[in-house]
Amino acid sequence: MGAIQGIGVDVVDVKRMKMALDAWGPPLIKKMFTDTEVAYCNSAKKPHEHFAARFAAKEAVSKAMETGWSGKFRWRDVEVVNEPSGAPKIILHDFVAGQLSQCRVHLSLSHTENTVVAFVIIEKLE
C-alpha cells in the first residue's frame, strides 16, 4: 500500500464550459484535450458536460501535484479515458508522466446538468 502524495479537487460550472467552447471552438479544444478525449466527448448527447468533467480532472491533478499550470505541465499531459465499466481513468503523458512515474493517480468524477466535481488522489507506490 502506498502513501498519499497529493490530493486535488476541482468544481466546474458546465454552462461556463459551454460558453468557453462556443466562444473559442476548435483551438481551445485542441489545446486542452487529446484526440481520444475529443472523440469521446463529441460522441455524447451533451459534449460540453463531458469536456467540463475532463477539464475538472486535469485541474484536480495539477492541484494534487501542487504545480498549477506553470512550467512544463500541459493540459494534454493528463488524459481522461473510461474503463469498460464506465469508470474514469487517468492516463499521463510527457512531463506529468515522468513526474508521477512512481505513482498511481486515482480519479472520481461526478456531474449534474450544471456542475462537475473531480477528485484526485496521487498515491506514491512503494
Distance CA 53, CA 58 (A): 9
Query: Choosing from 31, 46, 111, 124, which is the catalytic residue?
Result: 111
Task: Determine the 3-state secondary structure of 96 from DSSP.
Answer: helix
- Is residue 10 within 8 Å of 80, Cβ to Cβ? no
Amino acid at 1: M
| 63 is annotated as an active-site residue | yes
Of residues 22, 1, 4, 12, the one with CA closest to residue 80? 12
The grid coordinates of residue 1 equal: 500500500
Query: Choosing from 18, 63, 89, 106, which is the catalytic residue?
Result: 63
| 93 is annotated as an active-site residue | no
Residues classed as catalytic? 63, 111
